[in-house]
A and B are shown apart, each in its own frame.
Chain A
Amino acid sequence: MVSSMVLRDVAVTHDHPDAEMDALEVSFQELNQKIRLAAERGTRRIVLRRVYGQRYIGTRLNGLPPVRVEIFGTPGNDLGAFMDGHVILVHGNAQDGVGNTMHGGEIIVEGRAGDVLGMSMISGSILVRDDAGYRAALHMKQYGRTVPSIVIGGTAQDFLGEYMAGGRLVLLGLGMRKHRMSFIGTGIHGGVIYMRGPFSNDQLGEAAEITPLRSADLAYLSAQIGKFGEAFGLPEEISPEQFSKIVPRGKRPYSSLYA
């Protein structure tokens, strides 16, 4: 077990506006400390090369001015967990817990993301080019005008949007024939899920229902499609009218449960 006492002596060799670090065989604690020290010295763009599973990249930047972190390789679990206001770009796949309880900023994944993507996110946005794993947008929240959003290029697995209390989740359904997940929006009591591509009603959780798109939805969707296209390009034509809108049946899914 690496204790925090080791971290005081980490030398930082890159203290110019752009920093580049080789993450090969560097522990997550050392790497995140290096990133923090670089940001503390005024670096605003940090490129990480040969990342192999280091966790919590971006998490240690809390309280510092916005930094852009570019990752080559595969970051580990909890990428940008509890992150506040920074930008992370992954040139590759991400693992579980991307944007876990994230409080602001942006995460862009040029690949797929694992389970519990954007779990309990409060604010900020996440873009995933390919698919996502189980329980994406689990318990995402919103408050006032702070509305987080997640856009997934392909599809996702079971329990999509479980317990969602707010925010917007978009599945573009690119490169697939049918969404296969079950229990969409189980326990959902706030927020919206937009899905493009075929699925049936029995894939929905009990608390969720489909409702027609309105003009505000179309405007939001075309903005997100534009943003996605800018980040990754669009392999096929997408129009906002092709989406189904899934919302909670009520704000109180369990109100009649008790004596």
Chain B
Amino acid sequence: MLATQLLAEFKIQRDEDRCIRCKVCARQCGFEVHAYDEETDRMVSDQSKCAGCQRCAVLCPTGALTVALNPQSYAPNYNWTRERISDLKRQAETGGVLLTGCGNDKPMRIYWDHLVLDASQVTNPSIDPLREPMELRTFLGRRPKKLEVVDEQPVDGHPQVRIDLPLIFSALSYGAISSQAQESLARAATAVGTLFNSGEGGLPKALRGYGDHVIVQCASGRFGVDPDYLRRSAMIEIKIGQGAKPGIGGHLPGEKVSRSISAARRIPVGTDALSPAPHHDIYSIEDLRTLIYALKEATNYEKPVSVKIAAVNNAAAIASGIVRAGADVIAIDGLRGGTGAAPKVIRDNVGVPIEMALASVDSRLRSEGLRNECSIIAAGGFRCSADVIKAVALGADAVYLGTAALVAMGCTLCQKCYTGICNWGICTTDPYLSKRINPDIASKRLIAFLSAWALEIKEMLGGMGINAIESLRGNREHLRGVGLSDWELEVLGVKGAGQ
């Protein structure tokens, strides 16, 4: 291997007066940045290996460590930024595709920040959610075209899944994240009455007891898709695509396929877990219908079937096809959706912002009279409760939270998930590292942030004079755009502020 020309991404500063040589930093760093030097009785650091995850700095008992962006850089150049130069040098040294984790970090317009919410003044009363009932309950699934009544009893034709708040944990597979992290999600989802998504890596035996709260995925690799897995679920999701890497498959490297992961995925230990780019039984909407109905047949029509796609140029037309193909739920994952591993070039350049895709899908389904035939789950970079409520106003029934949940558990978005090393114990299967997530504590953190968001959503709803989230769904009159051009307002279907 060539000697590297790369500059260290981060600079580690240790306050020697504060350092007590306790070696916590050395034990905590899976990248092996810190070490104790006996000769000098000092801690030493190799900052070239630092991911900037801040684990050592947070856990240092004396606050002796500062990890900051390395100020050392190349001559300022708007075109050839430090990132471009570093990436190219890395490729010149390896000849490989650059991998990354988490979601698109590029400064593309975040439309949530250009949308503002309405509130009641004088002409209709606002509601105080602390003292009046406020409904966040949502049902996911296909609604009947008309209500059929036999012997004075409504005939309920389609399975529905109830969630007590419109926040669902996004697909995070066992293998991509640790079993402890997945269990934390399962426990939190169960406690607050919502769902978590197994991702495409199967469901470990230990989590099968959370069946009423799990969306199980059937992706192109079909890992761990067995009759028990399908039966013990609240909903089944066909994963076509993912916002972080539209159009490409998945690849869990063999070194991550441990004994327990091989059991969940039903593949031999140490082999690459490859998810082909397409489902090879789906080359058309008609083929998609075949798989949707195969899954319905396999579960005796007792579960709603969701289809998850990445937000792409023709998402609206594809969504229309998906509903016609029989899906009960559509999940759309936008440009900023996260991942455990994706080629950087794909993550940063492919897809459509979720705001635009969601608005266009909702509009299209409405114009075709199909909107009531499915629920829409929006995904991809939701950072706060305001993003969520704006998504509901644009037409979402619920949102998927992936990165937000990881951050609540400890993630700092260092984007090194693809290495299999995660000092926070989340995106790793290393037994030593993954023990750092204690499901008792992590699930409490998840429950706390969901509860906080739910309260904030109620406050915002109350301010608009609305007492049920259902009344806001697709109600774009409650949104206005700020600093957006005509075409953007048109796609979003909202008026400009003041209009």
| Chain A interface (Cβ < 8 Å from any Cβ of B) | 1, 3-5, 7, 28-29, 32, 36, 55-56, 59-60, 62-63, 77-78, 81-82, 84, 96-97, 100-101, 103, 116, 119-120, 122, 135, 138-139, 141-143, 146, 162-163, 165-166, 187, 189-190, 251-259
B82 interface residue (CB < 8 Å to A)? no
Q: Which of A60, A63, A116, A141 contacts B297 (CB 8 A)?
A: A60
Alpha-carbon distance A96/B478, docked complex (angstroms): 49
Could you say which of A60, A77, A253, A258 contacts B298, with CB atoms under 8 Å apart?
A60
Task: Give the CA-CA distance A116 to B220 in the complex, in Å.
Answer: 13
B157 contacts A166, CB within 8 Å? no
Query: Which of A1, A59, A84, A255 makes the CB contact (< 8 A) with B272?
Result: A255
Within 8 Å CB of B98, what residues of A?
258-259
* A143 contact set on B, CB distance < 8 A: 262-263, 266-268
10 A-B pairs within 8 Å (CB atoms) are namely: A56-B294, A60-B297, A63-B231, A96-B281, A120-B225, A251-B271, A251-B272, A258-B96, A258-B418, A259-B99
Q: Assuming A59-B294, A63-B227, is B271 touching A189 (CB within 8 A)? A: yes
Known: A63-B227, A78-B294. 10 other contacts (CB 8 A): A3-B157, A29-B297, A59-B294, A78-B281, A81-B298, A139-B221, A162-B276, A165-B271, A258-B97, A258-B99
CB-CB < 8 A to A120: which residues of B? 221-222, 225
Interface assignment of B253: CB less than 8 Å from any CB of chain A: yes
Complex contacts, A252 vs chain B, CB 8 Å: 253-254, 271-272
The answer on a CB contact under 8 Å between B272 and A142 is no
Inter-chain CA distance A162–B263, complex, in Å, is 22
CA distance A119 to B90 in the complex (A): 38
Within the complex, what minimum Cβ distance (angstroms) separates A53 from chain B? 12
Whether A101 contacts B225 in the complex (CB less than 8 A), given A4-B157, A36-B300, A60-B300, comes out as yes
Is the CB–CB distance between A256 and B96 below 8 Å? yes
CA distance A259 to B295 in the complex (A): 38
Chain A residue numbers with a CB within 8 Å of B97 are 257-259
Most chain A CB within 10 A, of B156, B272, B295, B298, is at: B298
Q: Which residues of B come within 8 Å of A, CB atoms?
A: 90-91, 93-99, 144, 148, 155-158, 218, 221-223, 225-227, 230-231, 251, 253-254, 262-263, 265-268, 270-274, 276, 280-281, 290-291, 293-301, 326, 418
Q: What distance in Å separates the Cβ of A256 from its nearest Cβ neighbour in chain B?
A: 7
**How far apart sit A175 and B349, CA to CA, in the bound complex (Å)?**
51
A63 to B297, CA, bound (A): 12
**Among A1, A81, A141, A256: residue with most chain B CB under 10 A:** A141
Compute how far the CA of A25 lies from the CA of B221 in the bound complex, rounded to whole angstroms: 35
- Knowing A1-B326, A82-B225, A256-B96 touch, does A59 contact B297 (C-beta < 8 A)? yes
Once the chains are docked, how many angstroms separate the CA of A251 from the CA of B230? 28
Contact (Cβ within 8 A) A251 B298: no
* Residue of A whose beta carbon sits closest to that of B249: A163
Check A82/B267 contact, CB under 8 A, given A4-B158, A63-B231.
no
Distance between A251 CB and nearest chain B CB, rounded to angstroms: 4
Cβ contact of B281, chosen from A62, A116, A251, A256, cutoff 8 A = A116
Find out whether the CB atom of A166 lies under 8 angstroms from the CB atom of B225. Answer: no
Q: With A77-B290, A119-B281, A190-B268 in contact, is A4–B301 under 8 Å at CB?
A: yes
